């Protein structure tokens, strides 16, 4: 065995190693090695901290996977930002309104904002661009709105300081509140994100709206999901809504009760719209018609759910343009809020409407239409509807919206899907985007 290897070995047991004349030097050596260990530990700790902080800053703005948002990641304020807000809010027609659209980078948000802008209303968007689904789709919608002259403020509806600043800059006459954590199944994965956006965020928005002067009128998105396990069809606004089948539905139902409270105490004019499965160009990738299209094109199997005893699963699919007409009609028929200085001065308007298509279509038929439009046969996988929040059937009674808003949907599923598919193929044509 080579000598050097023997010298480099540690003593077999500490007791057998004698410190003799060299003990002082040894103490010095061991002190310096402790010092080295401490130094290296500190360096390692610093490195871990650095990596951790960097990974936090690389996350989507304002959102982390635990469902908590951090407002510090949004940059707002400053004179050029204020200029953008003011210019976006400029009214382009006589009697035009100034509308704050929350969730403007979302699916309904982009369509509602551009329709308002087109007819001459002043529009300012607000969105936190969270990563519930591909944020690049939200950025593409933002770019389109920017071209139309609509500025989207990046921020969270829970940021009351930001909301107050916006009202300080622009005396909004109306709020079109669309920001929410949508999706039924994701509620089992990230329940706190629903509480954060749909309950806490709504309260934060109403707190600001009730205290500004003049108070705006508010139209906001509830959902057909509030009908939950209700089995009486078609669903009418008078039907019971106390059996939500998902946390999403429960938070929308809570929103309706919260709206009642703010109307009752502070005189805010509030209109809740129960949308029924909205679809169309610039849609949401987490919705069946969207990911069915993607998966049919990829040759992937698509799950077709059926209820108990092979019961048909059907949806009252409603085309986006019809929904937008309902939103605009709600804004136009909104009465003024009656409060001022945070106090109610008289009774104020409180409304809830179904916005659906009144013709439920079995999900299997939706797939057949997509097959024809895409000219690709789908690989259907029939499965039992899991109990994770989806209901078997939705069907809207829209007579109240028809009577009071003049709402009348005009687009059947075949026509609407044709428009969606042609958008989808154009948008994802480059092959760079995946549709996920």
Is 24 catalytic? The answer is no
Task: Sort 346 into a burial class: Cβ within 10 Å, 0-12 / 13-18 / 19+.
Answer: exposed
Closest approach, Cβ 50 to ligand NAD, in A, equals: 29
- Tokens in use for 328? 């605009």
Burial group, residue 76, by CB count within 10 angstroms (0-12, 13-18, 19+): middle
Near ligand NAD by CB under 6 A: residue from 89, 116, 150, 157 = 157
Omega before residue 234 within 30° of 0, cis: yes
- Asked if 179 touches ligand NAD (CB under 6 A), the answer is yes
Judged by beta carbon, residue 62 or residue 267, the one nearer ligand NAD is 62
- Of residues 102 and 338, the one with the C-beta less far from ligand NAD: 102
User: Which of residues 142, 197, 241, 397 is near ligand NAD by CB under 6 A?
Assistant: 197
Among 85, 105, 254, 329, binds ligand NAD (CB under 6 A): 105
Per-residue x/- track, 282-311, ligand NAD (CB under 6 A): --x---------------------------
Q: How many Cα atoms within 13 Å fall on the side-chain side of residue 153?
A: 31
129 interacts with ligand NAD by CB under 6 A: yes
Query: Which residues, in sequence order, are bridge partners of residue 102?
Result: 126, 177
The one segment of 107-115, 337-345, 358-366, 393-401 that binds ligand NAD by CB under 6 A: 107-115
Q: Please tell me whether residue 204 binds ligand NAD under the rule CB under 6 A.
A: no
Of positions 113, 230, 269, 277, contacts ligand NAD by CB under 6 A: 277
Nearer to ligand NAD, 339 or 363 (CB): 363
The one segment of 150-158, 293-301, 306-314, 417-425 that binds ligand NAD by CB under 6 A: 150-158
Residue numbers annotated as active site: 248
* Residues contributing to the site for ligand NAD (CB under 6 A): 102-103, 105-109, 127-130, 138, 156-158, 178-182, 197, 201, 221, 223, 275, 277-278, 284
């Amino acid at each position: 065995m080579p000598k050097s290897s023997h010298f480099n070995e540690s003593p077999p047991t500490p007791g057998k190693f004698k410190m003799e004349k060299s003990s002082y030097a040894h103490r010095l050596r061991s002190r310096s090695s402790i010092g080295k260990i401490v130094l290296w530990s500190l360096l390692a700790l610093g490195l871990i901290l650095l990596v951790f902080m960097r990974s936090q800053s690389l996350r989507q703005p304002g959102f982390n996977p635990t469902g908590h948002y951090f407002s510090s990641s949004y940059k707002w304020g400053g004179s050029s930002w204020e200029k953008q807000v003011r210019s976006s809010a400029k009214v382009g027609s006589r009697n035009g309104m100034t509308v704050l659209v929350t969730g403007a980078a979302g699916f309904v948000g982009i369509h509602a904002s551009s329709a308002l802008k087109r007819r001459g209303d002043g529009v300012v968007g607000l969105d936190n661009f969270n990563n519930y689904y591909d944020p690049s789709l939200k950025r593409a919608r933002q770019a389109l709105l920017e071209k139309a002259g609509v500025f989207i403020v990046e921020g969270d509806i829970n940021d009351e300081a930001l909301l107050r600043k916006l009202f300080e800059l622009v005396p909004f006459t109306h709020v079109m509140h669309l920001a929410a954590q949508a999706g039924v199944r994701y509620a089992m994965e990230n329940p706190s994100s629903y509480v954060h956006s749909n309950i806490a965020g709504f309260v934060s928005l109403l707190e600001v709206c009730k205290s500004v002067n003049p108070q705006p009128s508010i139209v906001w998105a509830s959902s057909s999901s509030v009908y939950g396990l209700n089995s009486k069809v078609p669903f009418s606004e008078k039907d019971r809504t106390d059996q939500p089948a998902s946390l999403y539905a429960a938070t929308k139902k809570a929103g309706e009760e919260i709206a009642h409270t703010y109307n009752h105490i502070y005189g805010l004019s509030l209109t809740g719209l129960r949308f029924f499965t909205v679809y169309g160009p610039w849609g949401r990738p987490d919705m069946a018609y969207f990911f069915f299209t993607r998966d049919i094109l990829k040759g992937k199997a698509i799950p077709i759910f059926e209820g108990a005893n092979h019961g048909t699963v059907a949806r009252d699919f409603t085309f986006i343009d019809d929904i937008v007409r309902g939103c605009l009609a709600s804004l136009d028929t909104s009465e003024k809020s009656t409060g001022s200085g945070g106090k109610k001065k008289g009774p104020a308007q409180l409304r809830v409407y179904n916005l659906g298509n009144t013709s439920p279509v079995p999900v299997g038929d939706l797939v057949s239409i997509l097959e024809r439009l895409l000219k690709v046969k789908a690989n259907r996988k029939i499965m039992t509807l899991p109990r994770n929040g989806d209901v078997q059937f939705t069907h809207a009674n829209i007579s109240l919206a028809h009577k009071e808003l003049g709402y009348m949907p005009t687009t059947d599923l075949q026509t609407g899907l044709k428009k969606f598919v042609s958008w989808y193929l154009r948008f994802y044509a480059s092959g760079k985007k995946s549709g996920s």
